[in-house]
Structure 1
Amino acid sequence: MDSELIPPLDGVRVLDFSRYVSGPYAGMLLADAGAEVIKVEPEGGEVSRSLPPIMQDGAGNDHSTYFLRLNRGKKSVVLDPRSAEHRPALERLIASADVVLENFRPGAFEAWGLGWEELQRINPRLTYATITGFGHSPSRSRDWPAFNLVAEAMAGVVGRFPEGDQPAKAAGLPFGDSMASLHAVNGIVMSLLRRATTGRGSRVDIAMYDSMLSANEWSIACQSGAGIEVELGATVHPWFAPYGFFEARDGWLCICVATDGAWKQFCAVAGLDQLWSDMRLRTGTGRAEHFHEVIASPMSAWLAATPARTAATLLADAGVPAAPLQRPPDLVDDEQGRTREMLTDHPVGDGGSITLAGNPVRIEPRLAPHAQGFSTPGQHTDEILGELFPEHAISLPSH
């Protein structure tokens, strides 16, 4: 194969013990980059294989879209870390791996006799990556259970309604999970790069809370440096305007006027020359201060007569950051997503198909940018353990 077309993580073996979102998403990104990702699952498969919503393939077989969206391109073996019968096979599998990825609560792997020290004994070159709510180092919250909303709440990224301190509704997207996944992938790649120099593996300790706190750096800097509490979800940005979501004739769009030059272009596109002539509005802070009394009414009148996509296109073409607010039905066939190969179709079961979000990391030239295929529980057990035990000295575990 042409060396330029070798996937970035070709030859890297990842054992993915994780479930739900944060670990599986990280494992899928590694599979997209060419790693051999092997899901190590209990009998019957990890828990998310049965979670709703459920889709049916052409033969009427049920498949969990919760599982499909995060597990493309992975192999599957059934091995129980708690089983003495499975232990020899598990140790040899770990010895063959480059990465172990898991997102159990702290202490789980130690309880199974697979803590960091034991993993190092089995394979000194191994990268051991964990994703938990609050990390493995000692802390008050270390042992708390956590899902994405817990991390988001603790890290202060849940907005408040402008009229009071009531928390805004959650976005519904698992940012607490996905941000931790991205940091886990970064940590794993960093560890593999360091191993190339030192010859030894590393422990990568990712906390969902840490990841969300890092994402909320703006609020922390404003509070500690200027004593300003950023109001997440505010209808008017404290320093820029118009900046946010606005209703047009047939829907909503976002408009981000963050510079004085963009303000000039906005006024020209919207035909609001009187606003550009108003000297009070020549700065971002001035526009924010006078938005409701001066800008809102003529701006709303223009938008009420203009379709959202038209307004967004006119503004964007003029250099003003803007875009229509799209809903899930709009996204599945979004031209931009298809053009960038960020919407990809994958076969499911017997004649089924699902459209999934692709991998946003583009490394050119690239070969097969998105991993394909979905494994059934234990589908590759015989294949992989047969490679590890060619002498057949140890019988393969039942599955």
Structure 2
Amino acid sequence: MADVMPLDDVTVIDLTQGEAGPFATRLLGDYGANVIKIEPPEGDTARTQPPFLEDTPGPDRSAVFLFLNTNKRGVVLDLERAEDRERLLSLVATADAVVESFPPGTMERLGLGYEALRAVNPRIVLTSMTNFGQDGPYRDYELTDLTLYALGGPMIASGDIDHEPLKNAGHMTLFHGGIVGALATSLSLRAAEATGEGQHIDLSLMETATHSIDLRLARLMMYEYTGFYGTRPPLASAVASGTFPCGDGFFMLSGGPVRLEAVIRMIGQPELLEQPEWATVESRAQPERIDQFNQYLIPWMVSHTKAEITEACIEAGVLGGPINTVADMLSDQNFRHRGFFQEIDHPETGPLHYPGYSATLYRPDEPMPPRRRAPLLGEHTAEVLAALDPAPSAAPTVPPAGATARRPL
């Protein structure tokens, strides 16, 4: 059937907050899982995280929360209350996986550790996503994406050589941890199906950052074999290579001594190839050629737009690409052709454009299903708890808007 998704028969209890864990469960929800997001009465901390629509804070106006929690139903439970812990165990009894991001030991303190979950459901998969793992000397340390990028990511090689190391924009390492969390949960679900036994996944965000296949893994291997750990490159690491201003923004080129001839012809300076300093690869590789060639390159770049330079690169066979803004991506012809961005309506924000699926499944009879919007705080509590047997007592109340949320986990 065309409307069947790979995880249609999977129920996931989402106890995560912030970014890494919710991204993992959102990915599972994207491919069909029935994700039940459990929030404390004051809500996920991501509800307080900017940016907010029109810079007006509100529990249902955070772009971070709205993006990370599509395709989920929202339930409020106060796990400090015994009756709500019983409700959670009742949900676990019929679920396939639980994903949590509490500090190590919290689940055990609440009587909700892996053994307690196994007692009600031997096939349950528990994915624990924590900063440094369930044990070790760093176990109880807190973490931000900045410190994670520094400790486990490639920050030592990020930034300009003449300045201090910098992290990349956004929260790349947290989102990478979310991808690993979704993958590990999916693989363990397959094992549980085959063996009838669940799994407890101990996922350390520090370790997911360290073994990522960006610069970090290459640097680790280089250090192991040579003792050299690399450094930060200059903005132009070779002739005609780096980030350059252009008529409407910035453009990245990858020229270098070997490919410089194509760049020279692209900018309309073929006569340079007759001069000794530009005629051979060896002469082009001299360090002083970087600044010398910029005298020809930059005036040409700033007199052309990103679109014009892109077309010129394609015609000349030059490696390069525009540095896009968000507005550029929303209007990109390839994204528009493939229908990547989805419009999702929400009672608080109205319709907004969201990034689409990370991977599109082949579905010959119909497109990928539209995403459901993120839930309002406690929106599905009554619906989900009504299915429990025996019927639960009154559900916890949702605090008024403006209540203070807990600290990120």
Q: TM-score, normalised by structure 2?
A: 0.85
Q: What is the deviation of 1:156? A: 4.5
Change (3 A) 1:247 1:13: same
CA separation in 1, counterparts of 2:222 and 2:293?
A: 26
CA separation in 2, counterparts of 1:223 and 1:174?
A: 26
Q: Deviations over 1:309-329 (max 9, x none)?
A: 211222135443322112233
The one-letter code of the counterpart of 1:175 is: M
The one-letter code of the counterpart of 1:249 is: G
CA separation in 2, counterparts of 1:369 and 1:259?
A: 48
8 Å Cα contact 2:41/2:396 also seen in 1 = no
Q: Deviations over 1:14-34 (max 9, x none)?
A: 111111111111111111111
CA separation in 2, counterparts of 1:128 and 1:113?
A: 14
- Which residue of structure 1 aligns with residue 231 of structure 2? 231
Q: Deviations over 1:41-69 (max 9, x none)?
A: 11142222233333269xx9962223112
Please point out which of 201, 211, 214 is paired with 2:211. 214
Please point out which of 246, 263, 267 is paired with 1:266. 263
Q: Deviations over 1:284-339 (max 9, x none)?
A: 99647454255333222332332232112221354433221122333333333333
- Which residue of structure 1 aligns with residue 6 of structure 2? 8
The one-letter code of the counterpart of 2:103 is: R
The one-letter code of the counterpart of 2:229 is: E
Partner of 2:61, secondary structure, is strand
- Which residue of structure 1 aligns with residue 375 of structure 2? 375
Q: What is the deviation of 1:93? A: 0.2
- Which residue of structure 2 aligns with residue 335 of structure 1? 333
CA separation in 2, counterparts of 1:288 and 1:347?
A: 56
Change (3 A) 1:132 1:82: same
- Which residue of structure 2 aligns with residue 47 of structure 1? 45
Aligned length in residues: 387
Change (3 A) 1:250 1:287: farther
The one-letter code of the counterpart of 1:102 is: E
CA separation in 1, counterparts of 2:4 and 2:279?
A: 54
Task: Tell whether 2:211 aligns with 1:200.
Answer: no
- Which residue of structure 2 aligns with residue 72 of structure 1? 70
8 Å Cα contact 2:124/2:197 also seen in 1 = yes
8 Å Cα contact 1:161/1:234 also seen in 2 = yes
Change (3 A) 1:253 1:351: closer
- Which residue of structure 1 aligns with residue 108 of structure 2? 110
The unaligned stretches of length 5 or more in structure 2 are 398-409
Change (3 A) 1:257 1:292: closer
The one-letter code of the counterpart of 2:301 is: L
Task: Tell whether 2:174 aligns with 1:185.
Answer: no
Please point out which of 294, 297, 302 is paired with 1:296. 294
The one-letter code of the counterpart of 2:297 is: M
8 Å Cα contact 1:157/1:232 also seen in 2 = no
Q: TM-score, normalised by structure 1?
A: 0.87
- Which residue of structure 2 aligns with residue 248 of structure 1? 246
- Which residue of structure 1 aligns with residue 405 of structure 2? none
The unaligned stretches of length 5 or more in structure 1 are none
Task: Tell whether 2:104 aligns with 1:85.
Answer: no
- Which residue of structure 2 aligns with residue 145 of structure 1? 142
Please point out which of 357, 361, 375 is paired with 2:359. 361
Say which is worse superposed, 345-354 or 271-280, in terms of deviation: 271-280
Aligned alpha-carbon RMSD (Å): 2.9
The one-letter code of the counterpart of 1:332 is: L
Partner of 1:336, secondary structure, is helix
The one-letter code of the counterpart of 2:185 is: I
CA separation in 1, counterparts of 2:62 and 2:311?
A: 37
Percentage of pairs with the same residue: 26
Q: Deviations over 1:132-174 (max 9, x none)?
A: 21112x322121001211110112422243124x233x33300
Partner of 1:252, secondary structure, is strand
CA separation in 1, counterparts of 2:251 and 2:161?
A: 20
Q: Deviations over 1:158-195 (max 9, x none)?
A: 2243124x233x33300121010011111111111222
Change (3 A) 1:149 1:288: farther
8 Å Cα contact 2:117/2:124 also seen in 1 = yes
The one-letter code of the counterpart of 1:184 is: G
